[in-house]
Structure 1
Amino acid sequence: MAESTALPERLWLEAGLPLPRVRQLDVMLTQLLAQRAGVAVEAEVLPWRRCLTEVREGRMQGILGLSYSLERAQWAQFPMKGGQLDDQARVWSDAYHWYVRALEPWRWEAGLLKGPVEPRVAAVAGYSVVNHLQAEGVTVGTQVPGSPSALRMLTLNRVDAAALLRTEADPLLRSEPDLAARVVRLEPALLERSYHLAFAIPFARANGPRVSKLWAALPQLRESSAWKAAEAQASSQRQGP
């Protein structure tokens, strides 16, 4: 799983969970899921692109927060039902939006980003929106390590638009008034995505009952008080002052 903001110890104590070395949202969600499903799970925090590589090459067994694509389905087993992706077994949902400079006339209409020039586009390396845009014929000329880098490049006029996750970009804008005055989010969403707990295909095939228990526990777990408390705390921390 990828790196994110640390959460307070009290959330683990209230949920009756052992305190981990890394106290971030994804780690807590993994522990809550393991607790509910009755399945032992060990969480390791890595940079996102390395998460993808480790599971794809079989050195790690699973990855939390992976959106579906045909390319990823070649090496990752997603929760399926009736031959279709089982959205009830999602971990969370999110959406990509275009972010542009506030004083420039960019519009997102009918699946096209319209503006005064051919846009120079940035996106976070390893995120599914990169392949989506490329499949739509959009050149992603700049791939950055994270949303903060993309927003900085917008303000420096090094790119014209950035395709970013709303839950990553919006908190940055809320926490930095100067940045918020210079960058806006376009509506509607560029791409809406569900994020899943996915497994390396060989591991899923060899551990079918264990994997199924974890997926089956997700719908009820998303509605639990401990899960909602962890997500609310993470959201408040992302919003900043």
Structure 2
Amino acid sequence: MVRLSLFLLLNLVTLIASSAENKLKFCYIDHSMSPWITGANQGLVLSAIHQAEHDLNQEFELLRLPWKRCLNEVKEGRIQAAIGASYMKERTIWGSYPTTTHGALNKDLRLFNANFYLYRHMNSKVRWHNQHLEHADNLHVGVQLGYSVGRDLEKLGYSITYLPASDDLVGAFKSGMPEVIVLEEAEANRIMNKNTALKNTMIRDDEPIKIAEQYLLFNADFYNEHKVQVNTIWATLGKTRKSKSYQRETAKYLKPR
């Protein structure tokens, strides 16, 4: 009887350990990206991930990490996917985005859109117009570390000052350097709603620098070995994003453009 009980206990421990090992790991940024990611296990996109867990009867391990580390962990295969990654061609070397049957990026399966704008001081002459910066001689542009919009601006020849978080960017901006910063619109609104004086001193340009679809970016090797599973997760998240309940929740935070 004792041997039987010990045998059952060992099997139970093995089963629990196996279940933990098989749990998929997803990482997300450790700073606010309101309303999508607002804290530890908080935000609209994390709610969508939890809904997918329920619909798929599958549990994910969610890890909050600095964004560059998150992407590197996915690249190295230690974490299966990054939550909220924009499309960059260089990331397709090691990562997989959802695609159509013709191989094109499937934007219907995005998690959300991130709208990036230039924010400047009231007296600044710098403007973003027709995909370039006007009056930008010797200009340094502040961008959050790890964001693809920074790489896009670097490719256009602009000098970028990277800081870890949007609040850091605004703090530096208030002190006068850098002269202009790039923020995601909803995140900028969060900051200005906390500090209403900024609404008169931090001016947003009318034309967005970038509207970037954000995806659940999987490690390419993992995707190639588990295509059915990954495609099912993407499809489930796409269904959640389009659901009436999720759309109602999103509408509370985002003004229609």
TM range (shorter): 0.7 to 0.9
Extract unaligned runs of 5+ from structure 2.
1-27, 33-39
Counterpart of 1:158 (choices 177, 184, 191) is 177
Using the alignment, how far apart are the partners of 1:222 and 1:38 within structure 2? 18
1:24: which partner in 2? Answer: 42
Q: Which deviates more, 213-222 or 74-83?
A: 213-222
The count of residues paired between Structure 1 and Structure 2 equals 220
Higher RCO (CA-CA < 8 Å; seq separation 6+): 1
Indicate whether 1:127 and 2:154 are aligned.
no
Measured after TM superposition, the shift of residue 28 of structure 1 is 2.2
Using the alignment, how far apart are the partners of 2:127 and 2:165 within structure 1? 24
1:3: which partner in 2? Answer: 30
Using the alignment, how far apart are the partners of 1:220 and 1:198 within structure 2? 17
1:62: which partner in 2? Answer: 81
After superposing on structure 2, the runs of 4+ consecutive aligned residues of structure 1 that deviate more than 3 Å are 37-40, 228-233
Measured after TM superposition, the shift of residue 232 of structure 1 is 5.2
1:190: which partner in 2? Answer: 209
Using the alignment, how far apart are the partners of 1:179 and 1:226 within structure 2? 33
Q: Deviations over 1:61-102 (max 9, x none)?
A: 111111010111111110011121000110101211111112
SS of aligned partner of 2:159: coil
Q: Percent identity?
A: 24
Instruction: State the AA in 1 paired with 2:145.
Output: A
- 2:48–2:241: 8 Å Cα contact kept in structure 1? no
Indicate whether 1:98 and 2:109 are aligned.
no
- 2:29–2:67: 8 Å Cα contact kept in structure 1? yes
Measured after TM superposition, the shift of residue 228 of structure 1 is 3.6
1:239: which partner in 2? Answer: none
Using the alignment, how far apart are the partners of 2:110 and 2:81 within structure 1? 14
SS of aligned partner of 1:137: coil
- 2:70–2:82: 8 Å Cα contact kept in structure 1? yes
SS of aligned partner of 2:62: coil
Q: Which deviates more, 39-48 or 80-89?
A: 39-48
CA RMSD of aligned residues (A): 2.3
Extract unaligned runs of 5+ from structure 1.
6-21, 237-241
CA 33–39 in structure 1, closer or farther in 2 if over 3 Å, else same? same
- 1:4–1:24: 8 Å Cα contact kept in structure 2? no
TM-score, length of structure 2 as denominator length: 0.78
Instruction: State the AA in 1 paired with 2:223.
Output: A
SS of aligned partner of 2:197: helix
Q: Deviations over 1:16-64 (max 9, x none)?
A: xxxxxx4412432211122224444222222222211211111101111
TM-score, length of structure 1 as denominator length: 0.83
Using the alignment, how far apart are the partners of 1:93 and 1:171 within structure 2? 16
SS of aligned partner of 1:104: coil
Instruction: State the AA in 1 paired with 2:162.
Output: Q
2:196: which partner in 1? Answer: 177
Counterpart of 2:224 (choices 186, 198, 205) is 205
